[in-house]
Structure formats: C-alpha cells, structure tokens
Amino acid sequence: MSLFEQVARWFADGSHWQGDFGIPNRLLEHVELSGASILAAAIIALPIGIGLGHLRRGGIVAINVANVGRAVPSFALLVIAFELVGLGWPPAFIALVALGIPPMVTNSYIGMGEVDADIREAARGMGMRERAVLFRVELPIALPFVMAGIRTSAVNVVATATRAALVGWGGLGRFIIDGFSQRDDAQKIAGGLLVAILSILVEVSLTGLQRLSVPKGLRMRESVDTTLSKVPAAELSAA
C-alpha cells in the first residue's frame, strides 16, 4: 500500500474523527490554546505599542523587541516554561503569549509612527482632545499595521501551538509527535497536513481582515503594490 493510500485510509478511519483523541477535539484544543494565547498577548502588547507610538517614546525598545523575539527560539521558550510550571497547557500558554507579544508591539508602534505629524497637528488644531486624536485619528490610520502585527503573531502562535504536544498538551501537534514516536508515517503526514491547512487558513483569513482594515481614504495608496503588503511591517522596516 502506497503512502498516499495509507494517509487516505487514516483520514477515512471513523475512529480518527471521534472522542478525545479524534481530529475535531484536537482541532478544538489547538484553536482554544492559540486563541487564548493571542488574546492575552494582544491585551499586553497593543496598549504598549500603541501607547509608546502615541507618545513617540521608547522607539528603540519597541522596534527591537521583535528582533530579540526572533533570536530566542520558540522551542526554548516552551521548554523553559515547562521547567517553570510543569506539564500541560500552562507552559504552552506562557510560551505562546511570550511569542505573540513582540510582533504586535513593534507593528503597532510603527503604525502609529506612520501617522503624519501634520495630521496630528491638524487634529489638535481642530480642538480635538488627546483621546480623540488617539482614537479617531491615529488609530484608524495605524490600524492596518496593528492588524499586520496581530496576523504575524497569530500565524506564529498557531504554528507553534503544534509543539504544545511536546509538553503533554493535545492539539493537532499530538498526531505529529505520536506519529514520530510510533514511527507511524501515515499519522505523521496526516498531522502535518492538518496543521499546515489550519495555518494557511489563519494566514489567508487574517490577511483579508488586514486589507479590510485599511481606512477608505487610504485605500488608493494601499493598492499600489498589494504583493508587498503581505510583508509584515516590522520586517520591512529592517530593510
């Protein structure tokens, strides 16, 4: 039996679709863990990035936190968290939150920096209070960058949540890790495919959301080169 047939049979096997060890439950675990981590990371990161950007302060920290984040292997974060709090979802949650914070801080800071000083001046000149300047002028213009940060974080988090299986949690990574330890090629490939499909779905849908988040008045500028708008702003800034 060829490998492709084995994988097809694995997916066709009804027992892989039910119960705690089935695909639906593993998917739910994966999405729950990722979702909670992204939410927690956003609650911590966005006020920091947006706040610093509004105050035009702490730029060096805000820009470099993403570079530092890239240098620390996410696998090491996970194992350190495991040493601190033991097995299960807590270490995975801690590592994923830590992983999710940097891109959101950096991108939202950069987005706020994109707002022209003239526009801020004009808003103040019209008598807007600081709150209104922030929420009604700066944030809408910075929103695509904020969304780019959320997308980058979310894609990283969903991808890395696969490794939660290494510290005794479920999620779709369970199939991959079990596939390796049981030398079960079909399960390995099936798990890999499930994780890959989920990641691509998250990437594509959040890219769509990011496009929609561009304020109407700025759409023209955005359409100049949509292929490059896939680029996380933080990474472009390095160029």
Partner 1 sequence: MLATGVLGAADDPWIRWDWISGHVPVIRAALAQHVELTLIAVAIGLIIALPLGVVGWRERILRGPIFSVTGILYTIPSLALFSILVPFTGLTTLTAEIGLVSYTLLILIRNVVVGLDAVPEDVREAARGMGYRPFRQAVGIEVPLALPAIIAGLRIATVTTIGLVTVTFVIGKGGLGSLIYDGLIRDFKTPLVVGTTLSVALAVFADLTLAGIQRVITPWARSRAGT
Instruction: Name the residues that contact partner 1, by CB under 8 A.
Output: 3, 67, 70-76, 79-80, 82-83, 86-87, 155, 158-160, 162-163, 165-168, 173, 176-181, 185, 188-189, 191-193, 195-196, 199-200, 203, 227-228, 230-231, 235-236, 238-239
Smallest separation, CB 137 to partner 1 (Å) = 29
Long-range contacts of 186-194 (CB under 8 A, 24+ apart): 186/3, 186/6, 186/7, 186/9, 186/10, 187/10, 189/3, 189/7, 190/7, 190/10, 190/11, 190/16, 193/7, 194/23, 194/26, 194/27
Smallest separation, CB 100 to partner 1 (Å) = 15
DSSP state of 228: G
Residue with Cβ nearer partner 1 (222 or 235): 235
Smallest separation, CB 131 to partner 1 (Å) = 36
- For the record, the structure tokens of 170 come out as 């479920």
Smallest separation, CB 179 to partner 1 (Å) = 6
Residue with Cβ nearer partner 1 (46 or 172): 172
Residue with Cβ nearer partner 1 (134 or 166): 166
Tell me the C-alpha distance between 186 and 234, whole Å: 38
Residue with Cβ nearer partner 1 (133 or 150): 150
Residue with Cβ nearer partner 1 (113 or 179): 179
Residue with Cβ nearer partner 1 (120 or 188): 188
Smallest separation, CB 183 to partner 1 (Å) = 10
DSSP collapsed to 3 states, 157-219: HHHHHHHHHHHCCCCCHHHHHHHHHCCCHHHHHHHHHHHHHHHHHHHHHHHHHHHHCCCHHHH
- For the record, the structure tokens of 93 come out as 């949650």
Residue with Cβ nearer partner 1 (45 or 164): 164
Smallest separation, CB 150 to partner 1 (Å) = 15
Q: Which amino acid is at 189?
A: I
- For the record, the structure tokens of 222 come out as 């955005």
Smallest separation, CB 75 to partner 1 (Å) = 5
DSSP state of 223: G
Taking each continuous run of H as one helix and of E as one strand, the counts in the chain are 12, 0
